[in-house]
Chains A and B, each alone.
Chain A
Amino acid sequence: MSHQKSFQYADLLSVLERVVDIMSAPDQYSYPSVFIYGHRATGKSHVVLSIMKDLELPHASVDCVECVSSGLLFHQVLSAFFGPDAAALLPRCPSLSDFVRLYKQMSSNSPATQTRYIILDRAERMRDMDFSLLPALLRLQELVNDNVTVILLSEIVWEKFRPNTGCFEPLLFHFPDYSKGKSLVQILSWDHHPSYTPELYASYINILLGVFFSVCRDLRELRHLAVLNFSKFCEPLEKGEAKESDIHKLWKNIEPHLQRAMQTVYLREVSSVQWEQQQMDEKEATTLRVLSAHAHIELPYYSKFLLIAAYLASFNPARTDRRFFLKSHGKIRKTNFLKKHEKTSNHLLGPKPFPLDRLMAIFYSVVDSRVAPTASIFSQISSLVTLQLLSQVGHDDQLDSPKYKCSVSLDFILAISRCVCVCVRLLDLLALSLVIQSQVVRQERSLFTAVSNLHLL
């Protein structure tokens, strides 16, 4: 994004005016701290940094993700203002007072002729650092007695930052989201292709937003998608099959293509380069390849059974084991077989931990042949844990009777058992134990779709 464009965001103008207002008198003391928040890709850091660059203000820009310790933050600030030599004077594990002392010393040597700015990007990470750091930075101007302003950029509102003990209230700014109608189309239309008219590109952007706006509002992502799919959009024009005015025809051509793009490119299953290559190929082939990349997982024979056993152990109550896995189980009264709370849902409650013994017992009853309890069977369990198909509950170094949870979904297990199951008995088992849960699963799914629909609205 070039600098000029950013000043034409209609929604931002009022905010921008105020921000620039603050910075317009560099020789006077400025407000000690400013807090700017807005969603991803609303142009917070871009605006601030380009103002800094254009007005040639002295500033230190720090990304808080990078600062694994507060020492790094101090180091970067000092080296930006007073050069790396000053930063080297910091002791090994600098405290806040070290920083303030050194800053004072340095600023007395070279007092600020204009306001210095410390820009802290992704400031939400500050909350995980030392609890005194944030309040101190908010009134850094008082502490160091210098013309310095701290600008915090964040995706989270200020209320979530405010410490319990109270602190200096910074000046708040909100960068609003782009609205679908005006600003997004306007912004996206900036990078139109030189060989086509801006009107055509604008209509293309409208089509694109119609497909993608429901799932993605990230400007950067949308720009990427726009550039990626534009060549496909122009294909009929280049072939001479349609004119620029045939918007409907162009729409018919691009719409299914964009739908497919939403399934693959947006999820980053294929890279943009691969996607462009696949566009050259036939459509059928691409869909097939994407699908095959999706589901397949290779596991040794017994690992599959271990995983199935783990799933059964995780989602069936332990009381029912006798009924499911013993051939001659005792008679159980059907009416009161499951307690009421067990009937509600096992899938909604999520996997339950189970001890190793139970896993092995179910495993032996599920596998048809006799399996010796070899070391490799047990090492398969731990390799399933490293693959994150199982997860160990409790601490790693608990040697006696470790507990596990199964962390794969029902569909995954069904796929695995479909390719393993030669024996009907296992299928029966799965069916038996899942019949109770299937209804719940269906409810759960409809719930999910409802929730996601709500989210889109």
Chain B
Amino acid sequence: KCNLDEQKKLLSKTLKIKSCDGKNIGTYSTASLLALSIIDLCETFYCHLGVNVPDHAMTFRSLCNLLQDSVTPFVVSVHAKECAAVKLLIQKVLEQLMGRGVSVDEEQEDDTALLQRTQCTISALCQWYKTVTKKCTQVFPQRTESLTNSDLPQSLPVVVIFKDFEAFNSQVLQDFILICSRYTQELPFIFIFGIATSPSAIQHRLPHSVSSLLCIEVFHSLSCTQHLASVFDKLILNSQFPFKLSSRVIQVLVGIFLYHDFSVQNFVKGLQFSMLEHFKSQPLSMLCCQKQEALLSAKTLSKKNVERIRHLPSFMRYVETQEPQEQVQLLTNDEHVKEVCQQLLKNLHKYHKNYYPILQCLHSLTSSLPKFPLGKHIRELHVSCIEKNLWETEEYDSALQLLRILAKDELVAALRKCAEILKSTKILQNVLQQLEDFIGRLEALEEDSSGNGIISGKMEYQRTDLFQLQKTLLEKESRRTKRMNPFEVLRSQVIEFIDSLVREYLTPAELQPLNEVCYYNSSGVLRQRLNVTPRTSIQAALSHPFYYLQNESLKTDAGTISSAAPDLCIVYKLHLECGRLINLYDWLEAFLTVMSAAEDQDTNSEECGKYDSLKHARFIQAVSEMEFLGFIKSTKQKTDHVARLTWGGC
């Protein structure tokens, strides 16, 4: 119940992100509609997209809707698969345009009749366009008026979107552009090419005689890592959603994203899947909802669920820290457990509320440091925070080390950013107070020190070379000869304050009691489901039939072949022992030997060597199944032999 809502939210969120990306493109195109140069015939836009192919459909859909709403009703989007020839491409364009046309009912009929009568040419489209634009001015006078005010009046352009430019046959594209260029006087065309690689693809695909007919502008969509960052901000680094991911799961999802597909949509799908899996596999996930609901359902926990809570590792850890008397209470009294549970849930919610602002503060402080000791992206910081005690890591030490040598203006700017983050969240007011206090004191210091020539000169030196400074400072610290000036004293106070914040609020989530309620942490399952390995699972099924069939009689030792296994498995195991070419007769012999191994004891040896037609048929069927699975294929190199298609031949 709960997760469905959240899925909807997720989708709408991602849609929002996508559409704002689309909006940029849309506004650009409306702006540049006005520009027409002398010989540039067709205006063209390249949308340079990443290679995240599944995301493109969504982007183009929103772009399409946007164009239809704001620029022109004549938008066509074509796919390379549908357009193998110019004829088909033109047909597709005409179908989409004329089928749509003006959305008034009585025109619909003669539009379809028109399509049947006329031939599929652009000149037919031209005729149609003239009549439609005339109709448009008659039907929607107010609309065209509004257009005359803002834009070119009569030329509602025809937009053709080529979704996957690379996949188009270049000859088809060339011809289409040449044909369209003949009609640009009557029919204003705008092409939008979706290019996944680089803009220079256009030079590779189109000869200069054709590309010189185009007036090209390039738009870059946001890079997919930026997309990912915004999804992260909105869905994962957000205390509003009670559902959380553990560090391992985040690593798996991000790994799939970075290493395999660059697709934000797949990432969101992975998120949805892990949510489904969490609510399905963890019965205590009923407590994973908004705070009030969670407290209510904690009050009415069933006996079974109370027992489950007692078995949670985090709860057991919590119990161990309590007094002996309290321990007994917790282990025996159900009502007491429920009360404690409510308290713990409250703590968990409070922890989340405080965690994210502080995390953002720490990120904004450390993200400008050289070499990014705590990671470039906030997700890396997040992962290391929820995994272990951040302040015990070397990276954190080096980050603080670097923070300790920040110049004053940098420090003030960074603290200001933190204060803004805290202001926007409206919690942790006392922390904000302290921060602003520090900022005030730092600025007051500036006024004092501005008179002091020596110190200000020193400041400038600090700004120039961090590395040198770090060295000299370390030396000085070791000698302990120089007294610190007031700024340095204050700076170390600030750093200590930040350190204390980190130690207080950024404790790892896996140590929080009852974290299992909110955190989904079975990364193994997720990896198995999302990053599938069809080949290994087929091999596992064939070599260990017990794994899937769960039949006790199929359990075997590693090297042996059981005759109880399905024929296909026997044939598969036998073929593993062969080289690149397999003699069918030898194979059959081996198969029969295995088959008769079970009956060997009771039957006499004469029958053993002979094969009956049933076994023969079973063998042939198994072999053809092997061929179907792609392990072997027939070959003409040798009679009665088949070729092996997988590795591992001798």
Contact = CB atoms under 8 A, between A and B. Distances in A.
Nearest to A218: B212
A20 interface: no
Interface string B233-275: 0000000000000000000000010111110000000000000
A271 B31 CA distance: 14
B531 A300 contact: no
Contacts of A224: 37-40
B198 A295 contact: yes
Interface stretch (A181-189, A255-263, A310-318, A369-377): A369-377
A101 B33 CA distance: 48
A30 to B, nearest CB: 26
B399 interface: no
Given A224-B39, A376-B256, A298 B223 contact: yes
B260 A377 contact: yes
A40 interface: yes
Given A65-B179, A68-B86, A270-B217, A297 B212 contact: no
Nearest to A383: B53
Given A65-B179, A295-B198, A387-B166, A269 B216 contact: yes
A375 B86 CA distance: 35
Interface in B144-192: 164, 166-167, 175, 178-179, 182
Interface stretch (B3-11, B451-459, B533-541): B533-541
A353 B487 CA distance: 68
B342 to A, nearest CB: 44
B261 A376 contact: yes
A228 B37 CA distance: 9
Nearest to B170: A388
A372 B199 contact: no
A375 B532 contact: yes
A300 B212 contact: no
A319 interface: no
B367 interface: no
> Which bracket fits the contact residues of B?
35 or more
B259 A387 contact: no
Contacts of A122: 178
B196 A387 contact: yes
Given A223-B39, A269-B216, A75 B119 contact: yes
Given A224-B37, A387-B197, A273 B178 contact: no
Given A63-B182, A224-B40, A270-B218, A68 B87 contact: yes
Contacts of A294: 198-200
Interface in A156-193: none
Contacts of A388: 166-167, 197, 201, 204
Contacts of A75: 119
Interface string A361-391: 0000000000011111101100100111100
Contacts of A383: 51, 53
A66 B35 contact: no
A269 B51 contact: no
Contacts of A273: 32, 35, 37, 215, 217
Contacts of B38: 223-224, 227
Contacts of B645: 400-401
Nearest to B195: A387
A66 B216 contact: no
B136 interface: no
Contacts of B87: 68-69
Given A224-B38, A269-B216, A380 B260 contact: yes
Interface string A260-304: 000000011111111000000000000000000111111111110
A372 B209 CA distance: 47
B121 interface: yes
A405 to B, nearest CB: 15
B198 A374 contact: no
- Dominant secondary structure at the B interface: mixed
Interface string B74-118: 000000000001110010000000000000000000000000000
B7 to A, nearest CB: 23
B630 interface: yes
Nearest to A272: B37
Interface string B40-62: 10010000001101000000000
A27 interface: no
A379 B179 CA distance: 36
B533 A374 contact: yes
Interface residues of A, number: 54
B21 to A, nearest CB: 15
B211 A299 contact: no
Contact of A297 (B123, B197, B216, B534): B197
A399 interface: yes
B223 A375 contact: no
A287 to B, nearest CB: 16
Contacts of A274: 217-218
B633 interface: yes
Contact of B262 (A71, A221, A298, A374): A298
A376 B218 contact: no
A357 interface: yes
B536 to A, nearest CB: 7
B217 A298 contact: no
Among B164, B198, B647, the most chain A Cβ lie within 10 Å of the Cβ of B198
Contacts of A228: 37
B622 interface: no
B224 interface: yes
A425 interface: no
Contact of B258 (A66, A227, A269, A301): A301
Nearest to A299: B51
A410 B97 CA distance: 44
A389 B531 CA distance: 24
Given A224-B40, A294-B200, A72 B119 contact: yes
A220 interface: yes
Contacts of A63: 178-179, 182
A389 B167 CA distance: 11
A70 to B, nearest CB: 13
A13 B629 CA distance: 74
Nearest to A63: B182
A302 B259 contact: yes
Interface string A203-232: 000000000000000101101100110000
B214 interface: yes
A262 B256 CA distance: 43
Among A66, A71, A294, A373, the most chain B Cβ lie within 10 Å of the Cβ of A66
A25 B78 CA distance: 50
Given A270-B216, A272-B215, A66 B630 contact: no
A231 to B, nearest CB: 13
B202 interface: yes
Given A296-B198, A377-B260, A401-B645, A271 B535 contact: no
Contacts of B119: 71-72, 75
B122 interface: yes
A357 B580 CA distance: 14
B203 interface: yes
A329 B604 CA distance: 52
A128 to B, nearest CB: 11
A220 B53 CA distance: 38
Given A71-B119, A272-B215, A273-B32, 13 more contacts: A227-B37, A267-B203, A268-B212, A270-B217, A271-B217, A273-B217, A293-B198, A293-B220, A298-B50, A298-B262, A300-B261, A375-B531, A401-B645
Interface of A: 40, 63, 65-66, 68-69, 71-72, 75-76, 122, 218, 220-221, 223-224, 227-228, 267-274, 293-303, 357, 372-377, 379-380, 383, 386-389, 399-401
List the 8 shortest-distance A-B pairs measured between CB atoms, nearest first.
A376-B260, A273-B35, A68-B87, A301-B259, A271-B217, A272-B37, A224-B39, A298-B50
26 contacts: A63-B179, A63-B182, A66-B121, A72-B119, A223-B39, A224-B39, A268-B211, A270-B217, A272-B40, A272-B215, A274-B218, A293-B218, A294-B200, A295-B198, A298-B223, A298-B262, A299-B262, A300-B260, A301-B259, A302-B259, A372-B533, A374-B531, A374-B532, A386-B164, A387-B197, A388-B201
